[in-house]
Every structure is written in structure tokens, then in C-alpha cells.
Amino acid sequence: MIQFGRAICNDFEQSTSREWLVTNGIGGYACGTIAGVLTRNYHGLLIAALHPPLGRTLTAVKLNETAIYDDRLYRLHTDHREDGSIDPRGFENIEHFALDGTTPVWTFAFADAWLEKRIWMEQGENTTYVQYTLTRATRPVQLSFKALVNYRDYHGSTLEPWVMQVTSISQGIRIQADEQATPFYLFASQGKITSSHEWITGFYKKIEAERGLELLEHHLCVAEIEVTLQPNQSMTFAVSLNQQPDLDGQAAYQRKQQYETRLINLALGRDLPETLILAADQFIAQRAGGHTVLAGYPWFTDWGRDTMIALPGLTLATGRADIAGSILRTFAKYVDRGMIPNRFPDEGEEPEYNTVDATLWFIEAIRAYFEATEDLQLVRDLFPMMREIMQWHQQGTRYRIGMDQNDGLLYAGEPGVQLTWMDVKIDDWVVTPRIGKPIEINALWYNALRIMSDFAWRLGLPFGDYTQLAERVRTNFGRFWNGLYCYDVIDGEQGHDATLRPNQIFAVSLHHSALSSEQQRAVLDICARYLLTPHGLRSLTRDDEAYQGIYIGDRVQRDSAYHQGTVWSWLIGPFVEAHLRVHNDRVVARSFLEPLIRHLEAHGLGSISEVFDGDAPFTPRGCFAQAWGVAEVIRAWALINR
């Protein structure tokens, strides 16, 4: 269990840098800091998915708690104000914080009393529960709460107050931001509820300020709730889009525990840390009658590339092959001109297809699924679509993605478009365009050809063309070798690009490798010496003049550093797999994962951050919970223990 005492909880910097997350499996979530301070646009009790898994909207923000015990007043919440003051300082009353599964649990101490608070969500429903239990006391405690709400896109910020419709109902209140808005509800299992309409201004958001974004926000207090708890008594709040959520807090929490127990039981015998098993589930969401993967919290939606890379670790390694099959079939519905979508826009627009690698990762995910399940029926069902994908790549599709008829290698790119996973674009500037024949794209292309040959053979279909083309690609793959390691891109606008980046590690780690054993060892060695950090691989060697070791600042500062030295946690997976292939040393391979296991107690609690600074001390940045970071640690752990 992840848990902290006063040394962490009562230290403002420590308790605001650690964030908790709970999710509902349909794209909604709640998150915040141990201290209870709002540091991001994305913190709140209910970020509801109005159009699952998208349309995410901040509704309920927080409950400001005050306790009166033995005639003394204790303010338990914490606010960081625009003048820099921290008032009240409720975090100093936190005796203990822990994660019970994925449920954050606080214990507040005042005099001889302990008040426990826990937050969780109903699976499959936009409902968040907040439960308070007086676990130790010699007399009753009087509690009062101010309920703060908002209604905005989860990326946004509110600085212009307006009038919401706030209506008292049985055991709660109904809130509707405007005539077009989806109403939401606040219920209390007991106590006196008085509706109100008071905007509280000037909440300071530290992380948004660091990111060069709007640093202040206003929230609306819509109700005050008063309740008296006897020793060992509980009361429960429910904030929901549902007009009639279950207000039996004990039953609701039992459902949550039973769900997480089932997840752990599915992974029994796989020797996986339970924290990672539960973290994996937080990224899986329903889409179009099937499933998808949300790339990261608190802001990413479902991306094709991230989904396919994360699929083996999140589902297959955790004993959830049925979910893997559902994801593959879901994305198969969206194949167009031989490509799966790069991104499903949050606004519900048409999917975007600006990716060269997502579809090739799709083929690899199908291979991994078949290896884990031997489900030939799924392969048979999807094979016509896979064959169409390969045809489009051979003849050419969007963005000049297509096979070079001279050498069989895959070319991609045109000015102004970002196609590989190094995909930052600042206005009209593509920071790492990589137009030409990128190393990892052609490693994936060779891998896909070998997979198609094997699948065709298993289905009793002609496979010789795939085999012959794969051999041609393997022969010409030698063009990537520069004598010491692999070019990052060949046949680019400026010729061959020898920039030392981690993309070449995939030429070693993928199931089918076109490199010789000597070349594999050399690639692994240079990545280990120049790119490896405790938390993943740098996106660029520190020796390069374009290297940026700190990922912080406004959008331009951050995005220009995103793939120019910033460390990516997900790259530890292919590095460990490559190390196993070259050295077959499971003890050493596991040691590369240990820092990320320890990282579960920092930043996103129980999860793995998206990126880290390239310079020591490798401060975590970006999303505090990233799907492929979690997935690749799980997958690598499973490979070591296989």
C-alpha cells in the first residue's frame, strides 16, 4: 500500500506535488493533490464524460470541510490564493494518507479525534463518492461543508462568473449551468443542506502558472451542508449526472472493492505488482460498444498510437485478453485508406489520421494478442483489413506514406505534418519533422511483413509475397547502419540523419528484427551509454547542440524540449526487451525497472508519469499518469518473469 505520514502530508511542497486519480471506465475521472490544493485546471471531484469517453467537463470541484470538536474549530481544507497566501492550512491536520487500491484515503487528526475521508467513483457511471467516517473520538464532531462547482471544458479556466440555476431537491441540490448544459447533482446521505450562490474568486493554480497558462480561477459555492457525526459513524456525498445515485456509501464502496479484487484475480500467477494492475485499468474506457485506451491523465484522449503500444501491457499481461480483442475490433472499424486514427478529437469531430506508425503498431498488437491467446478467429476476421493496410502502404496513402519501390523501405512525410511519435507541432513549426525513412518506422514495417507472412500461412493463404518483400527489406535495412549505430532517418530532405535518438532501439526490441546480433548489441550499448536514465530513455543525446534538459515553461518552451532531450518513461519497455534479447540477464533487466516502481509513490500516486527532465534529478513532468508508461513497465516486468 502506498502511504505517507506527516513528514509528507504536512509539507506543502511534498503534499501538493503528489496527485491522486480515480476513474470510472467511461472517460470520467476525479483527481487532486494530497494537500487538497487545486494546482491544475484538471483537478476536481467530477470531471464527467458527457459523451463517453470524451466531452469531459469539470462539474463538482471540491468540498471545503470544517470540523467543530470539543468547541474548537478546525478547518480541514487548503486553498492557495492569488496573493500567494495559503489559507486555510488544512493539510497540517492530515495525520495519514494512503491508497486503498486506487481509492485515496485521508485521516485528519484534531485533539483525540480521527476523521477519515475517502474518494472513489462508480464504475461505468459519472458518479463520484466522498465518504467521511469518524473513526476515533470521545464525543460527536460537527462538520460543515461548502460545495464548490463549475461547468467548463476540462482544459479551460473560469474567470467570468455567471448565474447558474441551483435548485433544492430531496437530500441534495440540482445544478444546471445554463439552458444547454447537462444538469448535475449533489446528494448527502444525511445532514442539513442549504443552497447558495456565491462565487469564490482567486484560486491560484501553481502548475498551470509553471506551464505559462492562466494561473487563477473562480468557483461557485452552491451549497452548505451541516452534519453531526457520532464516533464510528459515516456520511456519504455523491456528485453525479445521475438523478438517483445509490446513497448507500458502504454498498457503493463494496462494489468498488469487488471490482478491483476481480482485476487482481485475473492477473494471479503473473507476479505483477498489484498497484500496476489497478493502474492499468484506469486507462481502459468504453467506446462505440467496444473499448479503447485513454492515453494519459489528466488531459489526453484516446490516440491510436498510444492505444496500440499500450495494449499488450494494459490487457494481455494483466489477463484481460477479452479487452484486448475488443480494442482491436473497435479500432478496425475506423481503418481508412490503410490507416487507423491518430486521435479521436475531444470535440467529437472526425478522427485524425496523421500518423505513420499507429497502424504498424496495430499489426504488432494483433500479433501480441495471437501469441497470448492463439485466437485464430480474430486473425481470420481482421486479416482482410490487414491485407488492405499492407496494400495501401505498398502503393501509397496519405502524407506520402508509402513503400519506395527501389528498396522496399517505407517513406513518410511532407512539410508541415508530424507523423511519427515525435509529433510536436508549434503553430506551423514541426519541431522534429523526420521526413524520409525513419528507423523505427522501417523496423515496424519489416516486423509487419513478417507477421503478415506468418498469419497468411496459418490461415492457409498465399504468403510468399510477404516473405519475399520482408527479405528485401531486411537486405536494404543495412542502409540504416552508419558503422556505430543506426541513422535516425535516411533519404531525408538533408540526406541521412545521424542524430543519436532512441528510435533505433525498436530495431532490436520488436518481435522480428532486421539487425544482426552484433548490430543489436551495438545499438543497445550506445542507447545505454548516452540515452538511458533511471526513468526511461532521453529523446536526444546530451551531446547534441539541440539538447534541452529541462521540460518546463510556456507551450513553446515545453514543446520545443518535448523530443529534444526529455526522458520518456515508455521507452524503458523496448530497452528492457532489447537488453533481454542481447544479454538474456533477467536480474539486470529487472534492475532497470526498479526506479520506476519506486516512482509509483511520487507525482501520480500509483501510476507512472509521461516524461521526466533529461537532466538530474529527472523531475517528473507532463501527465502524471500515462498509459504507455504504465503498460511498458508491466509488459517488461512480464517478459522478465516469463
Domain range annotation of the chain = 3-259, 531-642
* Contact present, 237 and 63 (Cβ < 8 Å): yes
pLDDT at residue 346 above 70? no
Reported as a pLDDT band with limits 50, 70 and 90, residue 1 is confident
* Contact present, 337 and 397 (Cβ < 8 Å): yes
Is residue 518 packed enough to be buried (19+ CB in 10 Å), middle (13-18) or exposed (0-12)?
Answer: exposed
How many CB atoms neighbour CB 384 within 10 A? 9
What pTM, to 2 d.p., does this model score? Answer: 0.95
* Contact present, 47 and 154 (Cβ < 8 Å): yes
Place of cell 501469441: 371
Average pLDDT over residues 274-298: 95
| Residue-level pLDDT at 347 | 55
Average pLDDT over residues 570-592: 98
Place of cell 547502419: 481
Reported as a pLDDT band with limits 50, 70 and 90, residue 635 is very high
| Residue-level pLDDT at 642 | 86
| Residue-level pLDDT at 614 | 97
Instruction: Give pLDDT tens digits for 382-412.
Output: 999 999 999 999 999 999 999 999 999 999 9
Q: Which of 50, 59, 91, 54 is nearest to 74 (CA)?
A: 91
| Residue-level pLDDT at 514 | 98
**Which segments of 485-601 are extended strands (E)?**
489-492, 495-497, 532-533, 536-538, 567-568
| Residue-level pLDDT at 170 | 93
* Contact present, 82 and 89 (Cβ < 8 Å): no
Instruction: Give pLDDT tens digits for 90-132.
Output: 999 999 999 999 999 999 999 999 999 999 999 999 999 999 9
In three-state secondary structure terms, 398 is helix
| Residue-level pLDDT at 269 | 85
**Which segments of 205-306 are extended strands (E)?**
216-229, 234-240, 284-287, 290-293, 296-297
Percent of the chain with pLDDT over 90: 94
Instruction: Give pLDDT tens digits for 11-37.
Output: 999 999 999 999 999 999 999 999 999
Average pLDDT over residues 495-516: 98
Instruction: Give pLDDT tens digits for 140-172.
Output: 999 999 999 999 999 999 999 999 999 999 999
Measure the CA–CA gap between 296 and 628, rounded to whole angstroms.
8
Place of cell 532486421: 514
* Contact present, 195 and 167 (Cβ < 8 Å): yes
Degrees (nearest 5) of the Cα angle 2, 3, 5?
160
Q: Which residue has the higher pLDDT, 193 or 289?
A: 193
Measure the CA–CA gap between 257 and 263, rounded to whole angstroms.
10
Measure the CA–CA gap between 263 and 259, rounded to whole angstroms.
7
Q: Which residue has the higher pLDDT, 365 or 417?
A: 365
Measure the CA–CA gap between 408 and 309, rounded to whole angstroms.
24
| Residue-level pLDDT at 370 | 98
Average pLDDT over residues 522-529: 98
Degrees (nearest 5) of the Cα angle 53, 559, 283?
25
Distance of CA 508 to the CA centre of its chain: 26
Q: What is the architecture, at CATH level 2, of domain 3-259?
A: Distorted Sandwich (2.70)
Average pLDDT over residues 57-77: 97
In three-state secondary structure terms, 517 is helix
| Residue-level pLDDT at 344 | 78
Question: Which of the 8 DSSP states describes residue 315?
Answer: I
How many CB atoms neighbour CB 570 within 10 A? 25
Q: Which of 444, 302, 311 is nearest to 366 (CA)?
A: 311
| Residue-level pLDDT at 270 | 87
Q: Which residues contact 261 (CB under 8 A, 6 or more apart)?
A: none
Q: Which residues contact 63 (CB under 8 A, 6 or more apart)?
A: 45, 77, 130, 145, 146, 147, 148, 237
Measure the CA–CA gap between 271 and 225, rounded to whole angstroms.
46
Average model confidence (pLDDT) across the chain: 96
| Residue-level pLDDT at 602 | 94
Reported as a pLDDT band with limits 50, 70 and 90, residue 67 is very high
| Residue-level pLDDT at 320 | 97
| Residue-level pLDDT at 574 | 98
